[in-house]
């Protein structure tokens, strides 16, 4: 194939338009019928994986789909030549998939998985140009991400040991009604640290890469 | 048993943090390896250690037997093992790539600065 990036760009644009249409349809369903719950494989919670879409998550999904569609349209004409043959569209689609999984996660384990997928695809996009500077910038980011994954999972373990469940709706009801023990407070600190590290909040932003300017600006 | 495993977790975390703070990339990777194993072990201990039947639903039954182990902790640890393996592999790949154009090929002696 002579121009594989053109085919990838057109396919990605088509699917992002379909995703945007489906996100708008989901938003309409939630406005009319309230929050939607889906059990993967029809396995009931807590053994099955739950996906929950309420109004806030539907709005986030619509915003993400809109940005993804705009990116695809923009990239048809303006993406730098050096990026076109290096899995840019695959990685961006994976990033959007991880974002949608993050918005729809109904339990903390799925949220952990989606955050890790988000981090891995972000890292891959950071090192897309394969220059030495990009690789040098990405290594501390991977290490910080690994430490935050450790912290999140330890927090999940402690929380699961004290509550017996990782479903977010169940935990929200339980933690509202019962008094917080030291174990739950400890788990909250671990999870809070992890989310702060992933969100690059003070003082955990030092490991994050400096902005990488494109060589060819549109 | 929980006490013994808790002490093992403490040792793993201590060794992991100590090696993570070294200015050597191979030791940083080893430190992360210790921390990940400590986290997986901590999840198992926190969710309760027991010796029961495997968490498999027989055909014709709608739910698990009463004497079955909890499948959530096992699936969580497997998920974490896969993710930690992916993160470690990616880190090793990046480090190999970063240091590949240097003349010294002793990977274990490389440091960031």
Full DSSP string of A129-193: T--HHHHHHHHHHHHHHHHHHHHHHHHHHHHHHHHS--BHHHHHHHHHHS---HHHHHHHHHHHH
B86 interfacial to chain A (CB closer than 8 Å)? yes
Q: What is the mean pLDDT of residues A148-171?
A: 89
Considering only CA atoms, which of A115, A117, A139 is closest in space to residue A127?
A: A139
ipTM: 0.83
| pLDDT number for residue A85 | 61
Q: Which one of A197-201, B33-37, B70-74 scores highest in mean pLDDT?
A: B33-37
Least confidently predicted of A97-101, A109-113, A163-167, B46-50? B46-50
The answer to whether the beta carbons of residues B72 and A166 sit under 8 Å apart is yes
pLDDT (tens digit, 9 = 90+) per residue, B64-81? 677 777 778 888 899 999
Reduced to 3 states (helix: H, G, I; strand: E, B; else coil), residue A50 is: strand
CA distance A194 to A187: 11
pLDDT (tens digit, 9 = 90+) per residue, A40-95? 877 777 677 888 898 999 999 999 999 999 988 888 777 666 566 667 888 889 99
Q: Which one of A37-41, A174-178, B46-50, B107-111 scores highest in mean pLDDT?
A: A174-178
| pLDDT higher at A75 or B56 | A75
Report the gap between the CA of A141 and the closest CA in chain B (Å).
10
Rounded to the nearest integer, the mean pLDDT of chain B is 81
Q: What is the mean pLDDT of residues A172-184?
A: 86
Q: Is the Cβ pair B32, A146 closer than 8 Å?
A: yes
B48 interfacial to chain A (CB closer than 8 Å)? yes
Chain A CB contacts of B94 below 8 Å: 127, 135, 138-139, 142
- Which residue has 């990838």 as its token pair? A8
Rounded to the nearest integer, the mean pLDDT of chain A is 84
| pLDDT number for residue A213 | 47
CA distance A113 to A188: 18
Q: What is the mean pLDDT of residues B43-61?
A: 76
Report the gap between the CA of A55 and the closest CA in chain B (Å).
29
Minimal Cβ distance to B86: which of A120, A156, A157: A120
Minimal Cβ distance to A139: which of B35, B75, B95: B95
């Amino acid at each position: 194939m002579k121009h594989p990036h053109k085919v990838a760009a057109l396919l990605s644009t088509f699917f992002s338009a379909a995703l945007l249409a489906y996100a708008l349809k989901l938003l309409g369903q939630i406005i009319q019928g309230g929050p939607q719950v889906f059990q993967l494989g029809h396995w009931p919670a807590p053994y099955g994986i739950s996906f929950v879409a309420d109004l806030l998550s539907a709005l986030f999904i619509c915003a993400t789909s809109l940005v993804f569609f705009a990116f695809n349209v923009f990239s048809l004409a303006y993406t730098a030549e050096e990026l076109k043959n290096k899995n840019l569209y695959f990685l961006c689609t994976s990033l959007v998939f991880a974002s949608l999984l993050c918005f729809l996660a109904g339990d903390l384990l799925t949220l952990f998985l989606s955050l890790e997928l988000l981090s891995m695809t972000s890292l891959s996009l950071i090192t897309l140009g394969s220059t030495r500077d990009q690789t040098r910038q990405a290594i501390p980011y991977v290490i910080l991400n690994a430490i935050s994954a450790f912290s999140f999972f330890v927090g999940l373990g402690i929380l699961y040991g004290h509550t017996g469940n990782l479903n977010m709706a169940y935990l929200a009801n339980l933690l509202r009604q019962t008094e917080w023990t030291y174990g739950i407070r400890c788990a909250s600190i671990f999870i809070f640290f992890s989310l702060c590290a992933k969100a690059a909040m003070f003082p955990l932003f030092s490991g994050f890469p400096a902005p990488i300017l494109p060589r060819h600006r549109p | 048993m929980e006490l013994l495993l808790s002490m093992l977790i403490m040792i793993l975390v201590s060794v992991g943090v100590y090696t993570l703070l070294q200015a050597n990339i191979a030791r940083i990777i080893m430190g992360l390896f210790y921390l990940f194993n400590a986290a997986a072990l901590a999840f198992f201990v926190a969710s309760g250690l027991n010796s029961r039947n495997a968490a498999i639903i027989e055909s014709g039954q709608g739910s698990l037997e009463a004497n079955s182990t909890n499948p959530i902790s096992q699936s969580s640890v497997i998920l974490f093992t896969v993710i930690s393996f992916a993160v470690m592999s990616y880190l090793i790949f990046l480090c190999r790539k970063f240091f590949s154009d240097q003349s010294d090929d002793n990977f274990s002696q490389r440091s960031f600065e």
